[in-house]
Chain A
């Protein structure tokens, strides 16, 4: 190893370790959406001045670890760990009903590990195939973002409602940007991202302030959670992911990971659903279908996230995928550290700062560390960890921590005006999310339509 590579590698190892520990923990907490947790914390890492090697390793390790430990609440409690855990919820609940939640957990996380191993090299290969077309793609980027926004909106729960709602949403952003430009002679990015990512939380906090909203949110008593009994045999060695899955499951998981490494423009949840359906329709035995679909669906959450981050980063430098525009958004655009000039299309982000070989190296480091931490931890301590989180970590503390995080990051970016922007975008975005079914991914695309497509339309 050359001497100048030692420092970046040490950064990658250190940040991957930090991310793996932190996000194995966050994954255990049910309902912690990837965009709402990974994006702000990755942003923070960038703003604090961590070098590119550390940033990419941090992000990838965070996602890989979270998509392993998110299977704990999903299988043991029957509530989705995060957004991408929703598609495997049904299989997890049925296996839990059969009294074998530990099997669902083992299958799901082993599927995740296998998918990571497949997706990293394939994503890099697909990125290399796409690289020659990067300039052509960049030239028409404003129109691609507009088309992607409409497509992502139409495939969201909101359907046509979400498509039409893009118009007021984009106008709100355009209007805010114009006002910020007038006041500060610069534009904000972070506060818009934060508002979109934490929109549902901000909306709920507003609703809880109004008597009418509070009535609708009232709970009759404490919520009950039935934790599945700990049926795992005590002791024993750590199960090998290749042994937990049978040959068919291994083949289907690898196959769907390979396919979803190429389909990087589609939403991870949609791909997890689709892959599960395809695989499920090919398996006749019901029991085997349950375990295999759970395996494949969790595998897909890993492969989609890796491909949707690595391919746009390596090949294009523009956030042209639902993950790149959402949880991975700071890797593309986090002024003043990483910038994306909306007028000229000139980028200065991880795309320009790392070579493909470096991406590959740091991705492998992140994957090895995240798997080495999250997989054995979940295999050994799932039941104990789930019990501890449910009985000791209050939801008040999580919300309070995020509310404080929003305030501090906004003040850092642009004082009280930035805080106002986040609250505005969060309230509007959260409202659209809850009432129209326009999720954060659509809104991130809407943001890029506002900063890329709208100027292009005006220039016609």
Chain B
């Protein structure tokens, strides 16, 4: 894939991009200019100018839709089925990045229910317990931020 480049935060094929812009600009600009000319010819300049803009916009949409049909996205989508690794390992990674996730048992009842419904309750309790036994002192403040 020698023509893939990043434009405006996503990957495109530079040839497809050139083609797409040529199609859309071509359709939109010519439909605007023709419409503007026709409205002016029938003597309806002020309002006609606005209608020509509307027609030009429809041209933009048409051009973008045609481009979309011609050129497919350059993205690879992987739908990761739930991480197969050990749950504790994943939580450890999050803790590494963010700090202690805390003991869910100290949360108010409604929030505990929410954590239970997510299936995270036991895992968070285990993680909290293992951390407490690992580092008996000052474990709450040293991981903040």
Chain A residues within 8 Å of B, Cβ to Cβ:
30-31, 44, 47-49, 90, 94, 97-100, 103, 200-201, 204-205, 208, 214, 217-229, 231, 246-248, 284-288, 290, 387, 390-401, 403-405, 407-409, 411-412
Contacts and interface: CB of A to CB of B under 8 A. Distances in A.
B91 A98 contact: yes
CB-based closest 9 A-B pairs: A401-B64, A397-B68, A400-B20, A286-B101, A285-B102, A408-B56, A404-B28, A400-B24, A404-B24
Contacts of A407: 25, 28-29
A221 B1 contact: yes
A286 B100 contact: yes
A287 B20 contact: no
A103 B118 CA distance: 8
Contacts of A228: 80
B32 A205 contact: no
What does DSSP make chain A's interface, helix, strand, loop or mixed?
A: helix
B5 interface: yes
Given A391-B73, A401-B63, A408-B29, A214 B11 contact: no
A399 B53 contact: no
A229 B82 contact: yes
Contact of A246 (B6, B21, B102, B111): B111
A395 B12 contact: yes
B91 A222 contact: no
Contacts of B118: 100, 103
Contacts of B61: 401
Given A47-B50, A223-B76, A31 B68 contact: no
Interface residues of B, number: 78
Contact of A204 (B8, B74, B77, B78): B8
A248 B83 CA distance: 31
26 contacts: A31-B9, A48-B50, A94-B97, A97-B94, A99-B120, A103-B118, A201-B7, A204-B7, A217-B5, A217-B6, A219-B1, A226-B78, A227-B80, A229-B81, A229-B82, A247-B108, A285-B107, A286-B100, A393-B73, A396-B67, A399-B7, A400-B17, A401-B64, A407-B25, A408-B57, A412-B49
A302 B105 CA distance: 33
B90 interface: yes
B80 A222 contact: no
Contacts of A390: 73, 75, 77
Interface string B1-23: 10011111111111011011101
Contact of B67 (A90, A284, A394): A394
A140 B88 CA distance: 60
